[in-house]
Each structure stands twice: as C-alpha cells, then as structure tokens.
Structure 1
Amino acid sequence: MDLSQLGTPTGPMTRVHGGYANRMYRLDTELGSFAVKELNVLDRRYAYRAQDVFRFERAAFAAGIPMPEPIAADDRTLVHRWVEGEKVPEEPVAPSYAFEIGEILARLHALDVTWTHDAGEEAIPRDWSELAQKAVATGQPWAGELSAQVETFEAIADFVDTCERPGPVVLTHKDIQPWNLLAREGRPVVLDWELSGLLDLSGELGSTALSISQEEPAVFRAVLDGYVAGGGKLPPPGPSWFVFMVGGWLGHTRWNVMRCLAGVEAGAGPELALSQESAGNGVRGLPGLFRRLPELEALLS
C-alpha cells in the first residue's frame, strides 16, 4: 500500500509489539498518527475479506460505534487513525464498561450492511495425537502436557463439531477480547476488526461476555443486560454460547503449535516466542475451560 496519502512522516514508522496474528506499526505524519497493520498472508487460518471488512468498519464508524476511524485497506495492509487509551487487563472489567459493550453489540447487529460471504467456519482439527508425537520429538516445552491431554482435545473437537447453534446469525466483530479493547475515560473503544463476519448470535455474546468478565457473574450479566437495553434479543441458553470461544481457541492453539513445530521465525505474524507462549497457554488452559462448561452455562440463568 502507498502510505504517502497519510502525509509527510515526522519520524520513522515504529513497531508496536504484542499482536497475536499480525504486525502493527505506528506512523506519525503532518496529518496525524496512524496505526498501520501488516497482515499475515503466509499462514492465515482462513481467507481475509479485506474490502468487505472495510465496508463493515466504515458503516460501524459512521453509526457512532466507538472505534478507530478506518482509513484504507487492501489485501496486505490496514490503516486506521491512531487512538490513545488505556489497555484493558485480562481481569473482570467494571460492570458499567461491560454494559456498554453489550449496547455496542446490539447497535452493531442492527446495522444494515450487505455481506457477500457465508460464515466459512474453519475445519475442526483432529490430528492432536500426531501433533503430540511431533511435539515430543522436537522437544517442545509443553509436549508432555499435550500428550497427556490428547483425548481431551479430541473431545473438544467433537463438541465443536456437533454442538447445535440456534441462531440467528449476525454480522459482527467476532473477536471482542481484552486485548482488542481500549478504555478511554472509562469507556470502551473496539479495536482489530479484521475477523469480522457472520456468526451465531449466542457464540458472539458468550465469547464476549466470558472474555471480559473472566467468569465474574455480575460482569457477565452486565453484557447481556446492555445488549437487551440496546434493543437486542437474547438467544436461548445452552452450550452454543461457548462453542465459538472453545472452537476459536482450539484452532488458534493448533495454529501456534504448527508454527512452533516448524521451529523458524516466520516472516509475518507473531514472533516464535509469542507462538510458544500462545501454544502453551492453549495446551494448559483449554482443557480446563472445556471441563468448566457446565459451570459456565450457569452464568446464563
């Protein structure tokens, strides 16, 4: 992408570390500050619909959704206006913050935006035994834990594959997690829209509420209350509320496991050290989340 449209730089473009899938830079010019994201096109888990997502972002921004202004997009690069704010820690947010997230989702789901692609769910990974053997052979630090949990990962794959999604399907962000949020004067700013697409409503609400509440019941409920206050209607309770989060973490874990097994620093996406951290977190954390699903369903009552 030609970045000259952003104005004359006032200094070098600087790397902003910490991205789990892509690489981010800050560019300061005479026209302001911009977030320039270099998309990982080497080993993406599924195709990225740049122009569809950009159109959705523009509609959301025009509707007043608190987010960085989308400036430009192509198949390799995204540009947004830089937004200052405080990082959201991975701990329960304030109920008022959670309530506003629910309202934001209701407003987002009410937008009339044409989407030309179906949900396009990725294939459910089933090769956990083989991956565990390769992890042991290559001396991965989490190899023993993965080997001990192969049957659990197979059961997780079965759950993701067979869990019934009640609908409706909505066009939405799909990835509202603490690391994709800022707090500005105590209120949310929603970042990182590139995974946007169609998703079963219960999966979006469950993933969002669980991630920002960290299983704190009052905060979890505040997201749902905000959604209803914003004009949304809650789907029926059930395991479908958590299947998207479980399936997403399953796919993300396998993706990072594969990067670790390759053992080389890729030219795009997260650094190898971050993939090691993500793979270890998934191997250790996902089985525990899966075992707690009956407890999580109690949050819906």
Structure 2
Amino acid sequence: MNLSQLGTPIGPPVRVHGGYANRMYRLDTDQGSFAVKELNHVDRRWDYRLDDVFRFESAAFAAGIPMPEPISAGQDTLVHRWVDGEKVPEEPVSEGFAFEIGEILARLHALDVEWTDTSTEDPAAQDWPELAERATATGQPWADELASQLDTFRAIAHFVDTCERPGPVVLTHKDIQPWNLLARDGRPVVLDWELSGMLDLSGELGSTALSISKGQGFDTIEPAIFRAVLDGYVAGGGTLPPPGPSWFVYMISGWLGHTRWNILRCLAGVEANTGPDLALSHESARNGLRGLPDLFSRLRDLQTLLS
C-alpha cells in the first residue's frame, strides 16, 4: 500500500480486528489519523464498484450525512479520515437513534448521484447438499448442523429467488447494521460504504430497521424502535413502500450468501491473507446455520411490524 499522500507516519499501521469481509488498519500521520481498508479481491462474491461508491460517498459527505470523510479509493485500498466514537452493540438502539437513521436514509435516497453499475442479483446458490458432504468429509465443527438444515436452506434459496420486490429501486448504503455504525455524542455515524448500490427500497428499510431494533437473535425485537426508523424516513421526506415479505428478503438473501461464502472459506482450511480470519469465518458460518432458519421461520410474524 502506497500511502505517502497521507503524510509522514507517526508509527506503523495498526490492524483493527473484526472485519467481516476486508481488513482495516489505523494509520496516524502528521496530517491526522486515517482508516485504511485493504480490500479482499481474492474470493469476493461480487466486484467492488469503487469509482461509483467513492462518488456516492463524496456526495453523501458533502450533503452532511454523518460519516467518515472519504479521502481516496484505489484498486486495493479505501481511505477515510478516522472517526472516534462508541461501537454500537448488537442490541436495540434508542428510539431517537433509530429515528435519525430513518432520516439519514431518506436524505441518502434523495441524492442525485450517477451510478454506472447495471449488474443484477445472481440467483441463490443451490449447492447446499454438496457443501454438507464436503463439511462432513473434512470434519468441520458445524457439519451436523448444516446437514440437518438442508431442506430449510433449499426453502430459503427458493424464497430469495421468487419473492416479489415492489420497488422503487434506490441508490443506498445497503448494509446499515450495528457493526457498521458508531455512536458519537449519542448520534449515529455510518461506516463501511463499499457495498453501496441499487436496492429495492423495502429491502433496505426492512434490513436496517430490523437490525437495530433487535439483540443477538430474534427474541428481543422492539417494535417501537423498528417503527421509529420508518417514522424517521417519512419525516425526512421519504415514502414507505407497501408491506410484505419483500421487506425482509434482502436481509435473508445477504445472510444466505454471506454464510455460504464463509463456509467455502472454512472448507479451504487455510488462513487466507485477505478478508476475515479463519476463526471469524467459522463463527460466521455457525451463526448463519443457526440464525437463518430462525429468521426464516419468523417471516410471517415479522410482517406484523409493518402494520
């Protein structure tokens, strides 16, 4: 990484652990502190659209969206100015915090930004039986859990491929989760924009509202906090799409693909030099194998949050 444009380093880059897809470092120089993200191009599920993302981020920052200042986007690295704040735990946030997240989404969706990527979502993978066989043959610690849930994962893949998305499609962040947020003076700061792109509005709202209104699992969903995101969106000038299962298909689809990707990394059995550590991939695979069936079984109940 050539980072000479960021000034004279005060010390070496310091690894910030915990990234689910890439690797992050903090670099302190005589020009300030920077978050330097080393992108994983080796086994990603899709190509990053870095020019489009940087243009979108720059417009969002100029519009006053609370986020780190984007500095540069190279082929292998993304650089932002470092922002101090408190990590947002995976538990229900306050109603005020959720309301502001809704307002932020409405402001994002109102931006007029050129987006050149016209790619479409690939069909959900259907190779779960083959993955289960490989997991058993290689002695993966979660192999029995995968084998016992094959029918459920087939049903989830079918749902992802057949669920109707009502639109409209908006340019948005696509990944507002607790681990992509900071709290600064009790207010949200939105991190990690590299997955930004076009998405059905109901999927963005449902994924965001659900992720910040629940704890680890789905037994502690707070309907008032879920609703606060939607109220904030309307207050910010947005219009809600019609209720239905499409509000949750994007979260299910993304988690399904993320689980499969981590399973493949675990099956390789080696510590890759990019992306998450192998131990974190095992944790993510196990969480998906347990959490996705639970989420899918609650789909009908989740739709009551929209009424």
TM-score range, shorter chain: over 0.9
The AA in structure 2 aligned to 1:111 is: L
Output one character per residue of 1:65-124: Cα deviation in whole Å (capped at 9) or x when no partner.
Answer: 000000000121000000000000000000000000000000000000011112531331
List structure 1 segments (4+ residues) > 3 angstroms apart after TM superposition: none
Query: In the alignment, residue 185 of structure 1 is paired with which amino acid?
Result: D
The answer (yes or no) to whether the contact 1:119–1:199 under 8 Å persists in 2 is no
Tell me the equivalent position of 2:176: 176
1:81 partner amino acid: R
Partner residue in 1 for 2:151 = 151
The residue that corresponds to 1:67 in the other structure is 67
Equivalent residue for 1:84?
A: 84
Counterpart position of 2:288: 282
The partner residue of 2:228 within 214, 222, 225 is 222
What TM-score do you get using the length of structure 1 for normalisation?
0.99
Give the match's secondary structure for 1:165: coil
Amino acid across the alignment from 2:76: R
1-structure distance, mates of 2:305, 2:87: 26
Task: Compute the TM-score of the two structures, normalised by the length of structure 2.
Answer: 0.97
Match of 2:209 in 1: 209
Structure 2 counterpart of 1:273: 279
- Structure 1 gaps of 5+ residues are none
Which residue in the other structure is 2:266 paired with? 260
Aligned to 2:14: 14
Aligned 1:47-66 pairs, distance under 5 A: 47-66=47-66
Unaligned segments of structure 2, at least 5 residues = 215-220
What whole-Å deviation, never above 9, does each CA across 1:127-186 have from its counterpart, x for those lacking one? 111111111111111110110000000000000000000000000000000000000000
Q: Does 1:292 find its partner at 2:305?
A: no
Task: Figure out how many residues of one structure are paired with residues of the other and give that number.
Answer: 301
Measure how far apart 1:2 and its partner are: 2.5
- The amino acid of 2:137's aligned partner reads A
- 2:243 is matched with 237
**Aligned partners of 2:95 and 2:122: how far apart in 1?**
33
Contact 1:239/1:297, CA 8 A, preserved across alignment: yes
The 2-side partners of 1:251 and 1:120 are apart by: 15
Matched-pair contact (CA < 8 Å) for 1:102–1:222: yes
Number of the residue aligned with 1:138: 138
Q: Sort the Cα spacing of 1:17 and 1:59 in 2 relative to 1 into closer, same or farther, 3 A.
A: same
Letter in structure 2 aligned against 1:256: N
- Render the CA deviation track for 1:38-65: whole Å, top value 9, x for unaligned: 0001001001111110000000000000
Mapped partners of 1:99, 1:253: distance in 2: 30
- Distance in 2 separating the partners of 1:277 and 1:95: 30
Describe the superposition over 1:194-217 as per-residue Cα deviations: whole angstroms up to 9, x where unpaired.
000000000000000000011210
- 1:46–1:122 contact (8 Å) kept in structure 2: no
Contact 1:45 1:122 survives alignment (8 Å): no
Preserved CA contact (<8 Å) 1:119 1:198? no
In the alignment, is the contact (CA less than 8 A) between 1:27 and 1:34 conserved in 2? yes
Paired position in structure 2 for 1:107: 107
The one-letter code matched in structure 2 to 1:128 is: W
Alignment match, 2:217: none
- State the partner residue of 1:122: 122
The answer on whether the counterparts of 1:119 and 1:197 sit within 8 Å (CA) in structure 2 is no
What amino acid is aligned across from residue 5 of structure 1 in structure 2?
Q
